[in-house]
Amino acid sequence: CGVEELAMQHYEQEERGRWKGIHCEGSPLRFLFSLLFWDVIFSSDVPDAFLTPFQDAPIDLDFHPFFYKRREALILARIADLELWSDQQLLLELRERWQQSFGTLCRGASWGSCSLSFLQLVALCLGGRRISAICRALCINYRHFSGGMPDLVLLRGRRRQRGGEGGGGGGEWED
């Protein structure tokens, strides 16, 4: 049992199960980048980015600053979108991109590692502005910033009242 699993056990017991975690080595953040920047990553407007159909990413993704400079307008437009999207729009975009690209080989998109609902939950917890900052960093230097991400993602549920404030008793848990 590693330190990440011990931390998850601690938080799950300490907070009566309100914390949920996944030991993921940053994969949800890279996965969000891959999905939300799919059309930027696979843009046909960038010549010689794909030399074979077997590449999981454009040839310049890992070479700072070429990926960013060759797609700067596309990247800045997507970052602006992310910063303006409502939570509902963010969820919709993730769902559409997941459905359109499911199973396609792409660096960062580890289809078996987490579900769409988990990615959507992480996205909601972070919000569009934070996701745009993470994605901007990955666009600028994917090789550097894709390492050193959190090993453990912890999400905490909170109590939501039914029937408005003071609606009496119960309430329900949400993630």
- For residues 130 and 24, the model is more confident at 130
Whether 70 is in a domain gets the answer yes
Encode pLDDT of 54-70 as tens digits.
Answer: 999 999 999 989 999 99
Average pLDDT, the chain: 87
> What is the percentage of the chain residues whose pLDDT exceeds 90?
65
Q: pTM for this structure? A: 0.85
Whether 37 is in a domain gets the answer yes
Q: Is the pLDDT of residue 171 over 60?
A: no
Whether 38 is in a domain gets the answer yes
Q: Is the pLDDT of residue 167 over 60?
A: no
Whether 69 is in a domain gets the answer yes
Q: Is the pLDDT of residue 21 over 50?
A: yes
Name the band, by pLDDT with cuts 50, 70 and 90, for residue 166: very low
pLDDT at 17: 66
Whether 52 is in a domain gets the answer no
Whether 88 is in a domain gets the answer yes
Name the band, by pLDDT with cuts 50, 70 and 90, for residue 158: low
> What is the percentage of the chain residues whose pLDDT exceeds 70?
87
pLDDT at 173: 36
By residue range, what is the domain housing residue 111?
A: 27-44+59-149
Whether 124 is in a domain gets the answer yes
Whether 94 is in a domain gets the answer yes
> What secondary structure, in 3-state letters, does the chain show?
CCHHHHHHHHHHHHCCCCEEEEECCCHHHHHHHHHHCHHHHCCCCCCCCCCCCCCCCCCCCCCCCHHHHHCHHHHHHHHHHHHHCCHHHHHHHHHHHHHHHCCCCCCCCCCCCCCHHHHHHHHHHHHHHHHHHHHHHHHHCHHHHCCCCCCEEEEECEEECCCCCCCCCCCEEEC
Encode pLDDT of 134-146 as tens digits.
Answer: 999 999 999 999 9
**Count of domains observed in the chain:** 1
